[in-house]
């Protein structure tokens, strides 16, 4: 029996005001509501037991969610603001701030993935115990190359033996939709990816990540 099955889940969602490639994207209105609200609404409506914790430097977020019974917002420490701050630093601060037990499960999400479903998250969380961390991913089965010392080298195939792409080994690409891990594992590794991870594939449109204007247009089309 998975002894983590009855443990508390802490949904951790960082939201910052500044965005590098698409200015203000977290606060842009997607169809009829701010981008940041999609994943928050998904979790808060479906899971009435566990709480959402929002780390933010934006007063708008603090004001919007101040009276939500299952949402805890807090102002990000000034020392942890800026584009160069590691997500691991934000997670470490969160764990310390709320004194989370080692057995607690953290599910770290991003507001730039508005189409993640609660069913997907719930299924992924169940794998904790068999694995120390769960990472959402895309699966790639294409012929990939890497450039080293001005030369192109095959990464996952032999060009002299052209096997079908469906027979190539899987390449697992982090898509940053979610990272699920135990507090104990994070403390040991100082990282949200442990030593025994499971890469959880997510298909379109759930794996949509809004990083630039083209991604934004795609999200708008999905919602038509």
Instruction: State the CATH number of the domain containing residue 213.
Output: 3.90.550.10
pLDDT digit string, tens, across residues 119-142: 999 999 999 999 999 999 999 999
3-state secondary structure of 25: helix
Q: How many domains does the chain have?
A: 1
Confidence of residue 158 (pLDDT cuts 50, 70, 90): confident
What mean pLDDT is reported for the chain? 93
Residue 148 lies in a domain: no
Domain that holds residue 190: 9-138+172-222
Q: What angle do CA 84, 81, 214 make, to 5 degrees?
A: 65
Tell me whether residue 101 is in a domain. Answer: yes
* Confidence label for 4 from pLDDT (cuts 50, 70 and 90): low
Residue 21 belongs to a domain:
yes
Domain annotation covers residue 19: yes
Distance CA 117, CA 114 (A): 9
Other beta carbons less than 10 A from residue 224's beta carbon: 5
pLDDT of 3 above 60:
no
The label of the residue with tokens 């030369």 reads 151
Q: What angle do CA 47, 49, 52 make, to 5 degrees?
A: 70
Pick the more confident residue, 6 or 195: 195
Whether 222 contacts 116, CB under 8 Å: no
Q: What is the pLDDT of residue 20?
A: 78
In a domain, 3, yes or no: no
Report yes or no on 164 lying in a domain: no
**pTM of the predicted model, to two decimals?**
0.92
Range 160-194 burial, b when 16+ CB lie within 10 A, else e: eeeeeeeeeeeeeeebbbbbbbbbebbeeeebbbb
Is residue 160, in this structure, part of any structural domain at all? no
Q: Is residue 32 domain-resident?
A: yes
**Contacts by residues 57-64 (CB-CB < 8 Å, ≥ 24 positions apart):** 57/16, 57/17, 57/81, 58/15, 58/16, 58/17, 58/26, 58/27, 60/27, 61/15, 61/36
- Is pLDDT of 5 > 70? no
CB atoms within 10 A of CB 87: 15
pLDDT at 82: 82
The answer on pLDDT for 1 being more than 70 is no
């Amino acid at each position: 029996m998975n002894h983590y099955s009855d443990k508390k889940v802490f949904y951790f969602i960082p939201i910052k005001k500044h965005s590098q490639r698409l200015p203000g994207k977290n606060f842009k209105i997607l169809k009829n509501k701010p981008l940041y609200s999609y994943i928050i609404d998904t979790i808060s409506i479906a899971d009435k037991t566990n709480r959402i914790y929002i780390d933010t430097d934006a007063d708008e977020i603090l004001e919007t969610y101040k009276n939500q019974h299952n949402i805890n917002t807090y102002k990000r420490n000034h020392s942890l603001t800026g584009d160069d701050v590691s997500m691991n630093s934000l997670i470490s601060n969160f764990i310390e701030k709320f004194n989370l037990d080692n057995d607690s499960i953290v599910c770290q999400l991003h507001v730039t993935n508005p189409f993640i479903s609660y069913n997907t998250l719930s299924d992924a969380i169940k794998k904790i115990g068999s694995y120390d961390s769960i990472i959402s991913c895309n699966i790639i089965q294409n012929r990939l190359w890497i450039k080293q010392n001005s030369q192109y080298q095959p990464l996952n195939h032999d060009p002299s033996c052209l096997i079908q792409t469906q027979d190539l080994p899987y390449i697992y690409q982090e898509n940053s939709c979610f990272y699920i891990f135990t507090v104990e594992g994070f403390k040991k590794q100082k990282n949200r990816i442990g030593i025994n991870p499971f890469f959880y594939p997510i298909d379109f449109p759930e794996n949509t990540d809004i990083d630039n204007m083209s991604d934004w247009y795609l999200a708008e089309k999905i919602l038509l």
